[in-house]
């Protein structure tokens, strides 16, 4: 039986639309996190994968755990 329980952590992203039309995500919470995508959703997905790898490599990070309740911005495409 596995005793390991994967805990979710909160990583704040800063997402910026570049003049080339792509989105760039960075984070002050996880050093070295940089992700680029064609849409916000793609950029967030890539940033999630990059964050997982960086968090594994930087075991000394103290990120907040996901609690019973928290705010999450939902991005909706109206086009």
Residue 52: which of 4, 17, 6, 5 has the closest Cα?
Answer: 6
- Work out the number of other CB atoms within 10 angstroms of the CB of residue 40: 15
CA gap 60, 1 in Å, rounded: 27
- Which structural domain, as residue segments, surrounds residue 24? 14-57
Name the 3-class secondary structure at 51.
Answer: helix
Q: Is residue 67 part of a domain?
A: no
How much is the pTM? Answer: 0.78
Q: What angle do CA 75, 40, 10 make, to 5 degrees?
A: 75
In a domain, 1, yes or no: no
pLDDT digits (tens, 9 = 90+) for 17-76: 999 999 999 999 999 999 999 999 999 999 999 999 998 888 777 887 777 777 777 777
Classify residue 40: in a domain, yes or no.
yes
3 is a domain residue: no
Into how many domains does the chain fold? 1
Instruction: Give the three-class secondary structure for 53.
Output: helix
The structure tokens listed for 41 are: 């959703």
Q: To which residue do tokens 């639309």 refer?
A: 17
């Amino acid at each position: 039986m596995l005793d390991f329980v994967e805990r979710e952590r909160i990583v704040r992203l800063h997402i910026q639309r570049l003049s080339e039309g792509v989105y760039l995500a960075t984070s002050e919470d996880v050093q070295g996190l940089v992700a680029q995508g064609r849409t916000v959703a793609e950029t967030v997905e890539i940033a999630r994968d990059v964050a997982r790898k960086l968090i594994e490599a930087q075991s000394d990070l103290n990120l907040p755990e996901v609690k019973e309740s928290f705010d999450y911005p939902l991005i909706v495409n109206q086009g």
